[in-house]
Structure 1
Amino acid sequence: MICFNKPYGVLSQFTPEGQWRGLKDFIPVPNVYVAGRLDADSEGLLLLTDDGKLQARIADPRFKMEKTYWVQVEGIPDEAALVALRNGVQLKDGPTLPARARVMETPPGLWERVPPIRVRQTKPTAWLELVIREGRNRQVRRMSAAVGLPTLRLIRAAIGPYTLDGLSPGSWREQAV
């Protein structure tokens, strides 16, 4: 399996599209496939494998593999927002499963994003750690927005036991399963 720290502006596919780059610019390994996608405007851990059963186990919500996200939000989370995230929030496509949610310091070893996020002088920002077991389209962004905290930056830090540890943006490593 390959653990890849996907930079901002890179698609979760090998072929580039429009303004977005593809994985072929970073991973010269043939016949591996993404197990769980990240949007081009999200960063962080992407797993790739040549094992179809492993790919399904990682990506399929039925297996409930936890995914840990670091979310920089606009605004300061209050206890009501954290409780709502912990209980599950109502989205247009139905309620989310309960999440683990906590306010955190800026993630250790955080790299600069290129391009940087927009910052408004009148709005403070904060970091949340959000752990979910689903994988709906843009789910973390929609969850934070549902509690009044728009996402400015989204980094997937872990998928189950696999983490970003030691990976700079655009780098990858092979990892035993």
Structure 2
Amino acid sequence: MSDLYLFYKPYQVLSQFTDDKGRTTLNDFIRQPGIYPAGRLDYDSEGLLLLTDDGQLQARITHPEFKLPKTYWVQVEGQVTDEALKALSEGVELNDGKTRPARARHFTPPKNLPERSEPVQPRPGLGTSWIEITLIEGRNRQVRRMTAHVGFPTLRLIRWSIGSWSLEKMRPGQLKQTRVHLPTQERKVALKPRKKGVNPAAESSSTPARPASPKKSHRRPDHRPK
């Protein structure tokens, strides 16, 4: 068994524990020692960030071969069209290549969605609308580039889920601990390509013994392990 932490990253918080420019970091919210992000989330984005002290689990979550789906709630400038959603679903041509097919649909955010610390400000007369988009790839600022490509710039971006983990019943700044099971056989081949049809989500279990974790320390290094 391995410990996994779900963190609801607020707007304008770095996905790291240190910063030489004085910006808000994870260290302002998280006091659990020895854990590091499994992946990143942009400074100006909000939502789910996963952290763990288990290097194998970290690789399992972040390695592109495992294709964990990521779902985003996106507030865009203007009233998004069906044609734009179709283009997002089929893939759009960006400067680093065409994106893979995605799932994109009109979306009504929940009534209890937390307000952002800095209000969204669309250009006069354009208003905003929301879409939900699910990707199985993770290029740099991909969602923002995709919506801009189809004519609807992203104004607010919330990552709702990664694989089977989500922000359900969480609030900005909250850290929630859970435990997951990475099978022993999978640990031995954690970075090898998987066959099509294999479920990428880490399985939950309460029976196997927890493998040894890295030695914990209250002192954090400047850079997380890659």
Give the TM-score, by structure 2 length.
0.76
Find the partner of 2:77 among 61, 68, 74: 74
Q: What corresponds to 2:29 in structure 1?
A: 26
Larger Rg: 2
Q: Which residue of 2 aligns with 1:101?
A: 104
User: In structure 1, which of residues 57, 61, 69 is the aligned counterpart of residue 60 of structure 2?
Assistant: 57
Structure 1 counterpart of 2:174, from 158, 171, 174: 171
* Structure 1: runs of 5+ lacking an equivalent: none
Q: Whole-Å Cα distance in 1 between the matches of residues 157 and 20 of structure 2?
A: 21
The answer on whether the counterparts of 1:70 and 1:107 sit within 8 Å (CA) in structure 2 is no
Alignment-derived partner of residue 120 in structure 1: 123
Displacement over 4 Å in runs of 4+ = none
2: CA distance between counterparts of 1:124 and 1:131? 23
Q: Which amino acid aligns with 1:130?
A: I
**Deviation at 1:176?**
1.9
Decide whether aligned partners of structure 1 residues 80 and 139 sit closer, same or farther in structure 2, where only a CA change above 3 A counts.
same
**1:107 and 1:145 mapped to 2: Cα distance?**
24
Deviation at 1:17, TM superposition (A): 4.2
TM-score scaled by structure 1? 0.96
Other structure's SS at 1:36 match:
coil
Deviations 1:95-154 (A, max 9, x none): 111110001112342101011121333012111000001111000000111111100000
Q: Which has the higher strand share?
A: 1
- Are 2:55 and 1:45 aligned? no
Residue ranges of structure 2 left out of the alignment (5+ in a row) = 181-226
Paired positions, count:
177
Partner letter of residue 75 of structure 2? Q
Q: Percent identity?
A: 56
Pick aligned residue for 1:154 from 154, 157, 170:
157
**Equivalent residue, structure 2, for 1:4:** 7
Q: Offset of 1:14 from its aligned partner?
A: 0.5
